[in-house]
Amino acid sequence: MRTPTSHKTIVQKAGIFLFTTALLVFTASLFFTSFRLDQNAVQTAINNDYHWQFIEPELKPLEGQEYGNVFSFMSAYNAAMYQAQTAVKNDVEGKLGLTTNDGEYWNKVLQDYAVKSSRFAVAKASAGGLLPGNLWLFFALSFGMGILGAFLYILPKLRELPGIKNNGIFHSKLHNRGWLGIALGTWLIAFYILLYFYPEYLVSWTILADPVSKALNGGPASQWFLYGFLYTIAILVMGVRMMIKYRHNPYQLFRTASVMFFQTAFAFLIPQVMQALNMPAHDLKNIWPLDYSFFYEYRLNELINNGTLGLVMLFWGIALIIIGVPLFTFFFGKRWYCSWVCGCGGLAETLGDPFRQLSDKRLKAWKIERYLIHGVLVFAVVMTALVLYTYFSGSSRVLFLDSYTVRGWYGFAIGSIFAGVVGTGFYPLMGNRVWCRFGCPLAAYLGIVQRFRSRFRITVNGGQCISCGNCSTYCEMGIDVRHYAQRGQDVVRASCVGCGICAAVCPRGVLRLENASADVAQRTEQLRVILIKDGKAVLAD
């Protein structure tokens, strides 16, 4: 007779098998698409008759050729476009007699960014073969089977007693930098590099997301729709896991449900509907400086040119920065955003929860954190000031700085590498809040307000602490909570995101999240400063 435990194990093993198979199918689907060049797509993407007269002859050898995968197709396409770029440059310098010192030179030359921006559109328009011809089959074998496998692994945990299990947390090959963790981290890093810099190689995956995109906004999927779709699925599926794991704690249920809602509604569905209605498609919960492009001229012009709705959205974004952040942070600490609303925090708390114990608790890491995250905030402020100066003055030069160059640096170093490649790809290597802890400029802004002007804190009943270390182990922000608990000292740290896991894993109820005025007054009375007089401890007046 099979026991419930063995039955659970079988179900979970089946879930692991299905999820792993789905991940393999999803990854391998990159090679299940063939390509035949669509010249109309190239002409539309380049959109320049002068350049086209040089491009068309170079593309002739590609006509009628079928390429078995995106890698061979893009290799041939890039080689042809390089030859076209060379031909354009020779014509500009030869027949037209222009040099790099002439202003017209760079207007005539086929720019690298024009070629780069054409690659994704051309690759998608040229795609055919096995995957596009069997779209729903591959959708079911990847997304469908992956979600089913994840739930088969997660749902049996309902049969366990409520409470957090610490068994083997530092012995898992996946969760403690073992070979599985390294493999997952490598996969995530590779995905983000392709997403940000070489999206044309992800065309097969965007084709898989086409049915969902067409249902929501009426158009085919872009790489950013694919990313948003995967992001939302990850938060929803792993959010269910989070709610099962912490179902004994009402606060954890609340904040998990909150990030699931905000990601699904505000970050994913509402922007798609707005796009379908030809309205500005923005994530309404995203706040500068996390949304670092909010003040870029194309964003401002888009909002201003969209009438009343655009102006309301512009006002809403500015009001959140100036009024919303200080006000909400005063009452609730930075948890109101970092743990209840933010998509980055939502992914970290759900998909990244199994890796939270990997955060570095050393004093050296904290020192690096303080300089790095505030350095990024300063970078964001300077970059935005330059962008606004260019918007209102029309000049991109301020002293030795060029606003377009600075925004390019920020977008590459912070927006792409730090927030994406490192921020998520390093979950299995450095913990789930690498970006939030070391790089997010909005977290730095919130943290400054929380540290000096907030009623939120984690209070401590030090007399009950048994120094088990659970609180420090599970702190995703690298705070040595046990250090505070042993001393009976309330945790008031700029980096604390108020996730409350330290309180949830404490076996003695030593830690408590508080922000109500009655709570603060009570704890202030209980923790009056102890003065030492004549070798005796007395309460301060």
Share of the chain above pLDDT 70, in %: 93
Share of the chain above pLDDT 90, in %: 68
For the question of whether the overall pTM of this predicted structure is more than 0.85, the answer is: yes
Tell me the DSSP string of 357-422.
GGS--SHHHHHHHHHHHHHHHHHHHHHHHHHHHHHHHS--EETTEEHHHHHHHHIIIIIIIIIIII
* 356-385 average pLDDT score: 95
- pLDDT of 352 over the 80 cut: yes
Task: Identify the three-state secondary structure at position 431.
Answer: coil
Q: Please give the Cα distance from 20 to 454 (Å, whole number).
A: 45
Residue 280 is predicted with a pLDDT of: 80
Q: Rounded mean pLDDT of the chain? A: 88
Residue 1 is predicted with a pLDDT of: 40
Alpha helix ranges (H) inside 249-355:
250-262, 270-276, 297-304, 307-319, 325-332, 335-338, 343-350
Q: What is the pLDDT of residues 395-415, one digit of tens each?
A: 888 888 899 999 999 999 999
Task: Identify the three-state secondary structure at position 540.
Answer: coil
Residue 463 is predicted with a pLDDT of: 77
Q: What is the pLDDT of residues 290-305, one digit of tens each?
A: 999 999 999 999 999 8
Alpha helix ranges (H) inside 135-282:
135-139, 145-154, 179-197, 203-217, 223-245, 250-262, 270-276
- pLDDT of 458 over the 80 cut: yes
Q: Please give the Cα distance from 523 to 539 (Å, whole number).
A: 14
Q: Please give the Cα distance from 14 to 149 (Å, whole number).
A: 7
* 466-491 average pLDDT score: 91
Residue 254 is predicted with a pLDDT of: 94
* 103-129 average pLDDT score: 87
Q: Please give the Cα distance from 475 to 44 (Å, whole number).
A: 51
The listed range with the strongest mean pLDDT (97-101, 109-113, 250-254, 458-462) is 250-254
CA-angle at 78, arms to 74 and 82, nearest 5° = 175
Q: What is the pLDDT of residues 438-451, one digit of tens each?
A: 999 999 999 999 98
